[in-house]
């Protein structure tokens, strides 16, 4: 939606900032859609500062605050992991104070909060996320394969979004203002705003449950003995619906950037001279204008990574995809402190890192922000 | 008014968006009249198929799905209104203070905004909602807290812009108090910019609330579209036959419509500050 | 099936490759021993005897480890690791003789020492509350020979055969004596048992596991050669599209529409059992006021149209609960207890009589002291929302103000632990030996006056299912007596008396219990049955390992592969 307005700011070559009330350095801020930006954790570049360490310090500080919050909140709220173990546990288990004390001691929940906090931080520094209380398995061991699947899902959906978004963006920009441009713009605008959880549910009900064209869930067929190409196809088959869903959601991004980027290339001299030389329209469109317009797209891919963290939580849940999002959800449901801390940490670091990366990139690409 | 009408003519999106939202507002206001039944009353057998008595059939308890759909409009609009109000309050306050005071206060507030913007929004929302317990109030509060920073940024930049153009200082020079300056010069100038932003906020709030309810973090007793999606999908029958057509689909479509309505208005308002858009849309 | 559909739906070329590699699907194939693909629950933990979680975790662990005795479809105990087991005359010990030539999966012989060690180990370690086969009431184990031993009880216990001999997995001393942290032990060693299967592969993130038969099993090579467990969000849908060979309907009850595709298709078989989940409504008597007023509680039970609930929610696939808690199909059910049929007029009469007048706004009732009669009904998110809505509607109809509040089960547990609630609906996990259809010992957890752990014999039972504030010395006494009664008729009489008392006093209302359904693809495996009284610790599921091993429903003889 208005990410389009945000992205439009990259296209400013032919237009002075003429709006009545606008401070050009803050232009992105004006245009960016507040709603989706916060929802997706999109950063908006800060005003330029000479202090280069500042963004790093800020992000590290934020990370620290989140890690602490993540530690503290579950411990303040009613219901601890022992309650969860007992509530969800076997009714043939004796639930007396002695048992509770033994379990608290076993999971080291009997230590004072500061002690637990120090242990937790100490572990983090060494890359140790602790042991899951429900499964008694080290959290890192459980998370690593899930990170892999989540990563695969995000990467595939990015690829799909590029495949969909770039050509349509080039075409739309080339035909700017024409019917096809308006149509595409309206289409992407609407697609991006469809609630992904609703579309995902419908897709699951129709294509997986009723038509049987796609698996009901999971990341691969268990115990298949395919190997090789068949194995890859099986994984792709499981990946198809969730990745397509996210791909379409992201494609609007690529489309808008590409479109506005194209628009700014339209008046360029090389196009005029290219036409004069008799280059074909198609060649000019994709080889010259398209290629030159590609640069801003690269910066946007970073943004999508943090956007993806939002989407995978829904998508993984709908398609029972064994990723980090689902893991966090389960862990919160059982108050499994180490597991929820671990999953949340992974998501947090992903978002913060990409946001930092994007901010740094912005500063470099757009000198106005580093004024 | 005339310029508003002309902008409607120039931006069909704005017109469509306004029409959608108006219709929803009317439905919400007239819910008791439009809905044939009390949404929580048991008015039929469970899982009745659509009929003249129950336009969209009945749900697993035997409540009228159409009535719940109609009343669900209220939930979504209430979320939109309350979350937006919250965002408006925090955002304008922080933005104004930062913009007017400047200096260290400005720097600190803007760093705070940066921190909030960098937060992993949804994971955090889920985390808090799951631990604090499902309730509409909590959802609204969380959404408001997640969405204010952009508004604050916008308000600040507009304030700065007005300051640099001397409105503020000259007014102050004539002895006007800060409140007078805010009321007389800043708020009218901010209005249009903030309006566009807030419409987007409303759309986002509706989606987020429904999303939380969808993954089971809303109050399942509440009558809302997200809750309907969640409840429908938890029922194994939704995967069989055509039940999903009248239980799952209408709630999702209503939600989509509402979100698109807000988005269209937001985009439609945007061109007035960015003439490029009025040309291309 | 799923893959074939894929072939039709998408490009043939890629599909053909998939099909080419597709030989691992379920089914007996050409007269061979079958592979069965069943549901894997998520988060079952490691399948060791000390790390598994919950009922499904127990049955999976039981593929690797054996108990002294085990049930078949008749519900009778077959000699398993034990070739003989005799209750002593004083009712305080069992003499057990092990089969000869038993071997652990690593080839070492199984001795009486291993059995004794197992019980000693349980007594000295900390275990996760998810373990359901933890022995209780064991005073000691004496080895009386290389293959003989005596299991002594602290007090006479009619449930001992099932809850200890038929439940506790026997583990090898030479392995576990080296392990001091059994909950966290996840080595291959921890899976060395006497069981009919061995773990073949395990996909941690996918929650999928496969088990392969041990052809050197002491009863002979198991009939089902391979068991695959794969996750599915909707097991019945997964069965329909071919991702599973067998799947259970929800233990919380299922409607006919969901079962219809399987009932009407020859490829599938469906078995059922009355031993499903129970949904009790608890009054917090400790709150006092209306909740402590017997007349009010009786009014509530008359106000609830439970037949309508069963019809509406389950198309009749369940039983209206008895006021005596144990459902009518239960072996220990007492048909003579007071019952309270749906009668809103009677409910209104009782409320009027009790001084709860309709004097509030809109005819809402007030307490005798004039305050509004308004109660909060808590339910965890695992309860069908529709059930809560129906309950609330019924109570509101007779003028009782109800605020519905859904909270997660962990928080409800906390509230119940501190008796900080008015009304609560919970659900008894079916796969737990002490569900409403399990052993009548269930009544102890619900109705005993003392909180868990303060009873002379530890009260097991989840706090979620405790009748808060209910205390009746007579019930306490009967609870102790019935446990010591080895004579089944005597025990029935005692349990019947308990039902009579609680039916009079209504400290809780069993709304209904559900019927369990299990559908399977006949071609893959067709010997599924529900074990009477449950297998192991009383698991009411179909996943008894006995039919996989024997290929039959009764006895220890293994079916010849050529029969199929």
In tens, the pLDDT along A114-144 reads 999 999 999 888 888 888 888 888 899 889 9
**pLDDT mean over B195-216:** 89
Instruction: Supply the pLDDT for residue A20.
Output: 28
On the question of pLDDT at B257 being above 90, the answer is yes
Q: Which of A232-236, A304-308, A331-335, C313-317 has the highest mean pLDDT?
A: C313-317
Per-residue pLDDT band for C451 (boundaries 50, 70, 90) equals low
The predicted model scores a pTM of 0.84
B118–chain C nearest CA distance, Å = 29
Using one digit for the tens of pLDDT, what is the confidence trace for A166-183? 889 888 888 887 788 888
Q: Which residues 2-21 on chain B approach chain A with CB closer than 8 angstroms? A: 13
Instruction: Supply the pLDDT for residue B4.
Output: 61
On the question of pLDDT at B17 being above 70, the answer is yes
**pLDDT mean over A75-100:** 77
**pLDDT mean over C112-122:** 93
User: With an 8 Å Cβ cutoff, are A237 and C460 in contact?
Assistant: no
Q: Return the higher-pLDDT residue of C8 and A360.
A: A360
* CA nearest to C387 within chain B: B61
On the question of pLDDT at A61 being above 80, the answer is yes
* A224-247 burial: b if 16+ Cβ within 10 Å, else e: bebeeebbebbbebbbbbbbbbbb
Give the list of residues 6+ apart from residue B130 with CB closer than 8 angstroms, or none. Answer: A329, A332, A333, B217, C408
Per the CB < 8 A criterion, the answer to whether C68 and C166 are in contact is yes
Instruction: Supply the pLDDT for residue A53.
Output: 77
Q: What is the pLDDT of chain C when averaged over all its residues? A: 85
Residues of A in contact with C230 (CB under 8 A): 218, 222-223
* CA nearest to A79 within chain C: C411
Residues of B in contact with C250 (CB under 8 A): 236
Nearest-angstrom CA–CA distance, C559 and C34: 12
On the question of pLDDT at C49 being above 70, the answer is yes
Length of chain C equals: 564
Per-residue pLDDT band for C343 (boundaries 50, 70, 90) equals very high
Per-residue pLDDT band for B216 (boundaries 50, 70, 90) equals confident
Q: Which residues 44-73 on chain A approach chain C with CB closer than 8 angstroms? A: none
**Which chains have 3+ CB pairs within 8 A of B?**
A, C
Least confident of A221-230, A252-261, B217-226: A221-230
Least confident of A20-24, C144-148, C149-153, C207-211: A20-24
Q: Return the higher-pLDDT residue of A299 and B222.
A: B222
Q: In percent, how much of chain A has pLDDT > 70?
A: 77
Per the CB < 8 A criterion, the answer to whether B217 and B134 are in contact is yes
Per the CB < 8 A criterion, the answer to whether C111 and C147 are in contact is yes
Nearest-angstrom CA–CA distance, B257 and A128: 46
Using one digit for the tens of pLDDT, what is the confidence trace for C288-340? 899 999 999 999 999 999 999 999 999 999 999 999 998 888 888 999 999 99
A156–chain C nearest CA distance, Å = 19
Of the candidates C69, C48, C233, C38, the one whose C-alpha atom is nearest the C-alpha of residue C130 is: C48
On the question of pLDDT at A296 being above 80, the answer is no
Q: How many CB atoms lie within 10 A of CB A251?
A: 24
On the question of pLDDT at A213 being above 80, the answer is yes
Optimal mutation site among B58, B61, B132, interface C, most CBs of chain C within 10 A: B61
Optimal mutation site among C386, C387, C394, C405, interface B, most CBs of chain B within 10 A: C386
Q: Return the higher-pLDDT residue of C165 and A307.
A: C165
Instruction: Supply the pLDDT for residue A262.
Output: 79
Q: Which residues 174-213 on chain B approach chain A with CB closer than 8 angstroms? A: 189, 193, 197-198, 200-205, 207-208, 210-211
Per-residue pLDDT band for C436 (boundaries 50, 70, 90) equals low
On the question of pLDDT at A44 being above 50, the answer is no
Residue C509, sorted as left (phi over 0), alpha (psi -120 to 50) or beta, turns out to be beta
On the question of pLDDT at A230 being above 90, the answer is no
Residues of B in contact with A195 (CB under 8 A): 207, 210-211, 214, 252, 255-256, 259
Instruction: Supply the pLDDT for residue B233.
Output: 87
Of the candidates C438, C468, C463, C512, the one whose C-alpha atom is nearest the C-alpha of residue C279 is: C512
**DSSP H helices in chain A:** 3-8, 27-31, 34-40, 53-76, 81-88, 97-106, 113-125, 139-174, 179-193, 196-203, 228-266, 269-277, 281-283, 291-293, 295-318, 324-333, 337-365
Question: What φ, ψ does residue A63 adopt, rounded to 5°?
Answer: -60, -45
User: With an 8 Å Cβ cutoff, are C393 and B42 in contact?
Assistant: yes
Q: Find the CB nearest C411 among A79, A86, A216.
A: A79
On the question of pLDDT at C509 being above 70, the answer is yes
In the Cβ-directed half-sphere of C71, how many Cα atoms lie within 13 Å?
26
Instruction: Supply the pLDDT for residue B3.
Output: 59
Q: How many CB atoms lie within 10 A of CB B52?
A: 6
Per-residue pLDDT band for A78 (boundaries 50, 70, 90) equals confident
Per the CB < 8 A criterion, the answer to whether A265 and A286 are in contact is no
Least confident of A3-7, A247-251, B114-118, C466-470: A3-7
Give the list of residues 6+ apart from residue B221 with CB closer than 8 angstroms, or none. Answer: C385, C388, C389, C404, C405, C406
User: With an 8 Å Cβ cutoff, are A351 and B118 in contact?
Assistant: yes
User: With an 8 Å Cβ cutoff, are B203 and A35 in contact?
Assistant: yes
Q: In percent, how much of chain C has pLDDT > 90?
A: 48
First to last CA, chain A: 28
Query: Number of A:C CB contacts under 8 A?
Result: 205
Instruction: Supply the pLDDT for residue C12.
Output: 27
Per-residue pLDDT band for C460 (boundaries 50, 70, 90) equals low
**pLDDT mean over C84-105:** 92
In the Cβ-directed half-sphere of B25, how many Cα atoms lie within 13 Å?
10
C555–chain A nearest CA distance, Å = 29
Query: Number of B:C CB contacts under 8 A?
Result: 61
- Based on C-alpha coordinates, what's the Rg of chain C? 25
Q: Find the CB nearest B60 among C234, C386, C411.
A: C386
């Amino acid at each position: 939606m208005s990410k389009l307005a945000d992205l439009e700011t990259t296209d400013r070559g032919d237009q002075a900032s003429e709006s009545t009330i606008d401070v050009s350095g803050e232009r992105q801020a004006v245009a960016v859609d507040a709603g989706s930006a916060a929802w997706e954790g999109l950063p908006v570049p800060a005003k330029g500062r000479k202090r280069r360490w500042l963004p790093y310090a800020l992000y590290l500080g934020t990370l620290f605050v989140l890690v602490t919050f993540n530690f503290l909140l579950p411990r303040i709220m009613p219901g601890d992991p022992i309650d969860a173990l007992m509530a969800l546990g076997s009714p043939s288990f004796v639930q007396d104070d002695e048992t509770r004390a033994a379990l608290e001691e076993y999971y080291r929940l009997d230590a004072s909060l500061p002690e637990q906090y120090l242990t937790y931080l100490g572990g983090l520094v060494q890359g140790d996320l602790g042991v899951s209380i429900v499964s008694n398995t080290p959290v890192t061991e459980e998370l690593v394969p899930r990170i892999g699947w989540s990563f695969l899902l995000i990467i595939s959906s990015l690829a799909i979004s590029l495949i969909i978004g770039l050509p349509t963006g080039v075409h739309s920009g080339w035909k700017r203002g024409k019917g096809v441009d308006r149509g595409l713009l309206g289409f992407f605008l609407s697609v991006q705003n469809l609630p992904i959880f609703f579309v995902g549910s419908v897709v699951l009900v129709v294509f997986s449950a009723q038509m049987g064209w796609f698996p009901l869930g999971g990341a691969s067929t268990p115990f298949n003995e395919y190997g090789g190409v068949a194995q890859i196809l099986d994984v792709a088959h499981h990946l198809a619906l969730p990745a397509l869903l996210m791909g379409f959601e992201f494609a609007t991004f690529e489309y808008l950037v590409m479109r506005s980027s194209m628009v700014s290339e339209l008046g360029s001299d090389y196009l005029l001279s290219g036409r004069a030389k008799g280059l074909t329209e198609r060649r000019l469109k994709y080889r010259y204008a398209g290629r030159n317009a590609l640069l801003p797209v690269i910066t946007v891919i970073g943004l999508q990574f943090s956007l993806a963290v939002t989407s995978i939580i829904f998508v993984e849940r709908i398609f029972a995809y064994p990723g980090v999002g689902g893991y966090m959800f389960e862990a919160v449901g059982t108050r499994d402190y180490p597991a929820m801390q671990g999953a949340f940490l992974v998501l947090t670091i992903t978002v913060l890192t990409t946001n930092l990366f994007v901010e740094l990139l912005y500063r470099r690409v757009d000198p106005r922000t580093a004024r | 008014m005339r310029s508003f009408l002309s902008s409607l003519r120039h931006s069909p999106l704005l017109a469509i968006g306004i029409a959608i939202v108006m219709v929803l507002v009317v439905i919400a206001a007239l819910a008791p009249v439009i809905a044939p039944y009390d949404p929580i009353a048991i008015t039929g057998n469970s899982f009745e198929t659509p009929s003249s008595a129950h336009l969209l059939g009945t749900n697993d308890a035997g409540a009228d799905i159409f009535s719940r759909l109609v009343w669900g409009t209220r939930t979504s609009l209430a979320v939109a209104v309350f979350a937006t109000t919250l965002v408006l309050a925090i955002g304008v306050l922080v933005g104004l203070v930062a913009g007017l005071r400047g200096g260290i206060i400005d720097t600190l507030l803007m760093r705070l905004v940066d921190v909030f913007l960098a937060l992993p929004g949804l994971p955090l929302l889920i985390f808090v909602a799951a631990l604090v317990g499902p309730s509409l109030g909590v959802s609204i509060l969380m959404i408001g807290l997640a969405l204010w920073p952009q508004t604050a940024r916008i308000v600040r930049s507009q304030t700065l812009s007005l300051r640099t153009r001397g409105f503020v200082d000259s007014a102050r020079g004539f002895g006007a108090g800060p409140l007078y300056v805010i009321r007389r010069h800043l708020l009218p100038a901010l209005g249009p910019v903030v309006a566009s932003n807030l419409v987007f906020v409303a759309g986002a709030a509706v989606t987020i609330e429904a999303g939380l309810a969808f993954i089971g973090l809303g109050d399942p007793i509440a009558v809302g579209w997200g809750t309907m999606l969640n409840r429908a999908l938890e029922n194994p029958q939704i995967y069989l036959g055509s039940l999903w057509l009248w239980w799952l689909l209408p709630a999702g479509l209503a939600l989509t419509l509402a979100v698109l309505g807000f988005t269209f208005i937001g985009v439609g308002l945007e061109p007035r500050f960015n003439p490029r858009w009025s040309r291309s849309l | 099936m799923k893959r074939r559909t894929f072939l039709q739906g998408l490009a043939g070329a890629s599909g053909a490759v998939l099909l080419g590699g597709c030989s691992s699907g379920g089914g007996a194939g050409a007269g061979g021993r079958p592979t069965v693909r069943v549901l894997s629950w998520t988060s079952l933990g490691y399948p060791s005897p000390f790390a598994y979680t919950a009922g499904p975790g127990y049955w999976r662990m039981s593929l690797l480890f054996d108990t002294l005795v085990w049930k078949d479809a008749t519900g009778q105990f077959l000699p398993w690791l034990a070739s003989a087991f005799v209750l002593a005359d004083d009712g305080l010990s069992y003499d057990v003789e092990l089969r000869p030539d038993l071997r652990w999966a690593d080839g070492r012989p199984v001795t009486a020492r291993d059995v004794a060690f197992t019980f000693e180990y349980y007594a000295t370690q900390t275990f996760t509350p998810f373990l359901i086969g933890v022995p209780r009431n064991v005073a000691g184990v004496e080895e009386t020979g290389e293959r003989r031993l005596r299991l002594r009880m602290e007090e006479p216990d009619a449930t001992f055969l099932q809850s200890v001999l038929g439940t506790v997995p026997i583990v090898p001393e030479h392995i576990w004596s080296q392990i001091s942290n059994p909950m966290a032990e996840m080595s291959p060693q921890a899976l060395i048992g006497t069981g009919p299967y061995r773990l073949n592969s395990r996909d941690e993130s996918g929650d999928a596991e496969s088990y392969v038969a041990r052809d050197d099993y002491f009863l002979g090579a198991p009939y089902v050669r391979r068991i695959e467990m794969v996750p599915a969000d909707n097991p019945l849908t997964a069965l329909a599209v071919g991702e599973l060979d067998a799947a259970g309907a929800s233990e919380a009850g299922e409607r006919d529409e969901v079962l219809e595709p399987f009932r009407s298709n020859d490829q599938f078989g469906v078995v059922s059992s009355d031993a499903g989940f129970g949904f009790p409504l608890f009054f917090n008597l400790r709150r006092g006021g209306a909740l402590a007023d017997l007349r009010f509680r009786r009014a509530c039970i008359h106000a609830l149209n439970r037949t309508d609930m069963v019809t509406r929610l389950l198309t009749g696939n369940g039983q209206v609960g008895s006021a005596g808690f144990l459902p009518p199909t239960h072996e220990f059910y007492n048909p003579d207890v007071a019952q309270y049929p749906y009668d809103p007029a009677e409910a209104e009469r009782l409320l009027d009589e009790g001084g709860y007048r309709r004097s509030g706004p809109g005819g809402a009732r007030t307490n005798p002291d004039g305050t509004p009669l308004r109660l909060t009904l808590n339910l965890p998110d695992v309860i069908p929302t529709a059930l809560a809505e129906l309950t609330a509607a019924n109570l509101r109809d007779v003028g009782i103000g109800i605020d519905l509040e859904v909270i997660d089960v962990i928080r409800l547990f906390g509230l119940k632990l501190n008796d900080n609630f008015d009304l609560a609906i919970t659900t008894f996990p079916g796969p737990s030996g002490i569900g409403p259809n399990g052993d009548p010992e269930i009544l102890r957890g619900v109705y005993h006056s003392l909180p868990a752990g303060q009873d002379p014999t530890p009260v097991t039972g989840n706090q979620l299912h405790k009748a808060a504030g209910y205390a009746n010395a007579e019930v306490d006494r009967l609870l102790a007596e019935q446990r010591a009664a080895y004579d089944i008729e005597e025990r029935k009489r005692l349990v019947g008396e308990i039902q009579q008392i609680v039916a009079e006093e209504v400290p809780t209302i069993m709304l209904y219990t559900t019927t369990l359904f299990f559908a399977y693809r006949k071609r893959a495996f067709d010997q599924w049955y529900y074990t009477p009284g449950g297998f192991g610790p009383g698991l009411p599921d179909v996943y008894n390992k006995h039919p996989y091993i024997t290929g039959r429903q009764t006895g220890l003889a293994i079916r010849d592969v050529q029969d199929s």
